[in-house]
Structure 1
Amino acid sequence: MNDISLRWVRAFLLVAEHGSFTAAAQASGHSKANLSQQVTALEQALAVQLLHRTTRSLRLTRIGEGYAERCQLAFRQLESASEWAMQSTRELSGRIRMNSVGGLIGEELVAPLVFRFQQRHPGVEIELDFSSLREDLMDSPYDLVVRMGELADSSLVARRLHRVTTRYVASPAFLARHAPIQVPDDLRALPLIYGSVDHWLLARGSEQRLIQASRGYRIISGRAMRQAALSGLGVTRLVDAYVQADIARGTLVEVLPDWAEPTPLSMVCPPHRFQLQRVRGLMDWLKTHFAGAYEKALVQGLPVGPMA
């Protein structure tokens, strides 16, 4: 390893990223000859071929693909290590790229806590978005992600934020017009108010039922799904932060309570970003304050919408 120059590795990554020596030279300001010499020196030091070169094209070998992936991760870790070493004061500073589940949880609960954190630490700049994503965090630009659902085993750092419960609800008027809902299969004959997924997998212990939405309303918004249920259009499923207060007021009625599903809400970040004080500080802040904000939302709920 001592015989391998980081300049050679950077030259190789430039060529791998841009797809040719010409494009890499234009992007970096180095000459094609210089980049070619450095990549050749790297291949000789490793005693492997990293690039397939022809007069018309250039592509990574199988070993080259794996080497590029590992080197990119290593450079990100070096960057994080440098940032960690330069954190010489107690005041947090720097950028945090964060992604969160959206809707009520993200926009009304996570976001205000993030804003309060920024007010306490004006040196921290947080980029927060609510796009739906399922990507490998080791290769993503995000430092921190808030995800709902069980997490697969991985090398990521995960901390439990809260546990939410998905409930099945409908308005009293809707239930008065239809036969009682006693088992999941009773949902098959009813209009369902569903989101991006047109089937529901209900679970109770080891027992499962798959219900396909054959009629009803597809609405990609938790708030709008709640409004549709309040208006008597059908049965919907939403996490308790949306509907718990409605259930307490009697404007919505929970059906199939034995099939209510507890779901973990977690914070996840790559280990090399967890080393940064600002990322750990934000995770600690959310862990400390989120549960209280969530319980308050259960009690207060959203404003009661128009009724049918």
Structure 2
Amino acid sequence: MNNLSWRAIRAFILVADAGSFTAAARESGFSKANLSQLVTELETALDIQLLYRTTRQLRLTEIGEGYYLRCKQALQQLDSAAEWACESKGGQEGTIRINAVGGVIGEDLIAPLVIRFQQANPGVRVHLDFSSTRVDLIQDQYDLVIRMGSLPDSSLVVRKLHTIKTRYVASPNFLKEYGPIEQPADLASVPLISGSVDQWLLTRGQNQQIVQVENSIKLISGRAMHRAALAGLGVTRLADIYVQADIASGRLAEILPGWSESTELSMVCPPLRHQLSRVRNLMQWLKEGFGSAYAQALAESPAA
């Protein structure tokens, strides 16, 4: 494929990502006319309409959507191949884009480890952001995602980072007002504090109970959920690192201890990005340092 075709494909991807020729021109530095010409030439060469254009909006055709996904993956493969070739010359250089869980786990444990990795590898530029939103590792171009819970996509490289125990807690004053909570079914009649999920799955041996939490107080932050529980606003479900010290001091009471569960914290990486030594080295760095950092934090002061 000649250079014009590659330029046209890149122009098409820029426009599809931006949602308009104007936005693509603004973000890329290319002129709107040049981008429009390249996309038109691509459609002519393929004899296929890739975009619906009107004066008010631009959107992909059905074939355009499929072509966009395949082209974007192909270009990402080419970019990864170029990065791999450059790395083979030696040295640790390049960017690593990470999306991780936030709160105590992300900000107090993962971030310091990443900072120390950055100090030890000054040629690497780390971009770290925290979000509870599920991301698409292909579309969002992250090199590494750190997540809790199930990971259904088997095409990705997954490495276990730690096993975290989840506990259900409430303040002593809350329990005085609402009475003892002895079974998962009792949660249906008391105020709850939830995060980014709409149901809790409680497990005890082979028995599982689902508790719907759509009508709960919703706080998409572990720190905020922890503070709300201390304030007596309801029952919440948090990792032990948030609540263990409070349980020990009596500031929070653990409920349904037999229903406590363990959740995997995992590093997830696209196969192409896992080929890069800087990404593998960071994953190994986190693997070696996270367990001891977690244990130390668990033994220290409350999260609030």
- TM-score with structure 1 length normalisation? 0.82
Counterparts of 1:132-151 in structure 2, within 5 Å, are: 132-151=132-151
- Give secondary structure in 2 for the equivalent of 1:83: helix
Counterparts of 1:218-297 in structure 2, within 5 Å, are: 218-297=218-297
- Give secondary structure in 1 for the equivalent of 2:74: helix
User: Is there any run of 5+ residues in structure 2 with no aligned partner, and where?
Assistant: none
Q: Give me the CA root mean square deviation.
A: 3.3
What is the CA-CA distance between 1:124 and the residue it aligns to?
A: 1.0
From the superposition, tell whether residues 245 and 54 of structure 1 become closer, same or farther in structure 2 (CA, over 3 Å).
closer
Distance in structure 1 (CA, Å) of the matches to 2:186 and 2:59: 57
Distance in structure 1 (CA, Å) of the matches to 2:290 and 2:190: 36
Stretches (4+) displaced over 6 A: 19-26, 52-59
* Corresponding residue number in structure 1 for 2:209: 208
* Corresponding residue number in structure 1 for 2:8: 11
Distance in structure 2 (CA, Å) of the matches to 1:59 and 1:169: 48
From the superposition, tell whether residues 210 and 10 of structure 1 become closer, same or farther in structure 2 (CA, over 3 Å).
same
What is the CA-CA distance between 1:127 and the residue it aligns to?
A: 0.8
Greater CA drift, 95-104 or 172-181: 172-181
CA contact (8 A) 1:167 1:260 kept: yes
Greater CA drift, 227-236 or 97-106: 227-236
- Give secondary structure in 2 for the equivalent of 1:137: coil
Q: Deviations over 1:245-302 (max 9, x none)?
A: 2223333221101211211111112111111111111111011111111111211142
From the superposition, tell whether residues 228 and 284 of structure 1 become closer, same or farther in structure 2 (CA, over 3 Å).
same
Paired residue type of 1:174? F
From the superposition, tell whether residues 253 and 28 of structure 1 become closer, same or farther in structure 2 (CA, over 3 Å).
same
From the superposition, tell whether residues 231 and 55 of structure 1 become closer, same or farther in structure 2 (CA, over 3 Å).
closer
Greater CA drift, 176-185 or 145-154: 176-185
Paired residue type of 1:209? I
* Corresponding residue number in structure 2 for 1:124: 124
Distance in structure 2 (CA, Å) of the matches to 1:121 and 1:52: 43
CA contact (8 A) 1:184 1:211 kept: no
Would you say how many aligned residue pairs link Structure 1 and Structure 2?
296
1:73 to 2:73 alignment? yes
User: Is there any run of 5+ residues in structure 1 with no aligned partner, and where?
Assistant: none
Counterparts of 1:98-177 in structure 2, within 5 Å, are: 98-177=98-177
- Give secondary structure in 2 for the equivalent of 1:112: helix
What is the CA-CA distance between 1:84 and the residue it aligns to?
A: 1.1
Greater CA drift, 106-115 or 260-269: 260-269
Paired residue type of 1:261? E
Q: Deviations over 1:144-196 (max 9, x none)?
A: 11111100133211111111121011233433444322111222333333334
Greater CA drift, 270-279 or 15-24: 15-24
Paired residue type of 1:96? I
- Give secondary structure in 1 for the equivalent of 2:126: strand
* Corresponding residue number in structure 1 for 2:91: 91
CA contact (8 A) 2:199 2:213 kept: yes
From the superposition, tell whether residues 197 and 49 of structure 1 become closer, same or farther in structure 2 (CA, over 3 Å).
closer
From the superposition, tell whether residues 7 and 190 of structure 1 become closer, same or farther in structure 2 (CA, over 3 Å).
same
Q: Deviations over 1:56-95 (max 9, x none)?
A: 8987554343223212111111111111111145531111
Paired residue type of 1:74? A
1:188 to 2:188 alignment? yes
CA contact (8 A) 1:247 1:253 kept: yes
Taking only the aligned residue pairs, the percentage that are identical comes to: 52
CA contact (8 A) 2:195 2:221 kept: yes
Paired residue type of 2:11? L
Paired residue type of 2:253? V
Greater CA drift, 177-186 or 111-120: 177-186
Paired residue type of 1:175? L
Greater CA drift, 4-13 or 149-158: 4-13
What is the CA-CA distance between 1:202 and the residue it aligns to?
A: 2.5
What is the CA-CA distance between 1:133 and the residue it aligns to?
A: 2.2
* Corresponding residue number in structure 1 for 2:48: 49
